[in-house]
Amino acid sequence: MEEKSIFEKIRDGEIPAQMVYEDEHCMCFRDIQPQAPVHALLVPKQRINRIGVAESTDATVLGHMMTKVAEITKTLGIDESGFRLVVNNGRDGGETVPHLHIHILGGRKLEWPPG
Ligand code: AMP
């Protein structure tokens, strides 16, 4: 069996996390190494390794996650000031954890283009 990802360990309570939102399909917790004043990760509970391998059967959970962004950013206090969603994929994309996650970044003016 494939080794559990860090995020599966968080899901299973084996690693602590500052949870911001959780339901049966997804969870959102603060990033351990924040890159902005507000930085959280929105993660499906059932592992999808990365967006580049998502299949049509993942559409429901991915859609569900996107519809939770409004509520989560309100909880984080960045719904009005603005925020950015980022999904890193593969080596050049900067992916370090092979379990799909959406970075939610805010709390300051973010630069564009990203580095
Ligand atoms: P990525 O580089 O896009 O794969 O993002 C992985 C993110 O997971 C990084 O921003 C890390 O800081 C974050 N991360 C790694 N381990 C933990 C953890 N135990 N709790 C919260 N965030 C984590």
Question: What does the pLDDT look like over 87-104, one tens digit per residue?
Answer: 999 999 999 999 999 999
On whether residue 102 sits in a domain, the answer given is yes
On whether residue 1 sits in a domain, the answer given is no
30-51 pLDDT, tens digit each: 999 999 999 999 999 999 999 9
> 113 preceded by cis ω (within 30°)?
yes
On whether residue 112 sits in a domain, the answer given is no
On whether residue 19 sits in a domain, the answer given is yes
| pTM, to two decimals | 0.98
Q: Which of 31, 10, 25, 26 is nearest to 76 (CA)?
A: 31
Ligand 1, atom nearest to 17 Cα: 20
Q: Enter the tokens of residue 86.
A: 């980022």
On whether residue 113 sits in a domain, the answer given is no
On whether residue 47 sits in a domain, the answer given is yes
On whether residue 111 sits in a domain, the answer given is no
| Predicted pLDDT at 109 | 97
What is the domain-level CATH number for residue 68? 3.30.428.10
Q: Is 101 a catalytic residue?
A: yes
Beta bridge partners of 27: 22, 43
Domain that residue 31 falls in? 6-106
User: Distance from the CA of 61 to the center of ligand 1, in angstroms?
Assistant: 20
**Which whole number is the average pLDDT over 19-34?**
98
| Domains identified in the chain, total number | 1
Pocket test for ligand 1, best of 6, 39, 85, 104 (most atoms within 8 A of CB): 6
Identify whether the C-beta of residue 28 lies closer than 8 Å to the C-beta of residue 7. no
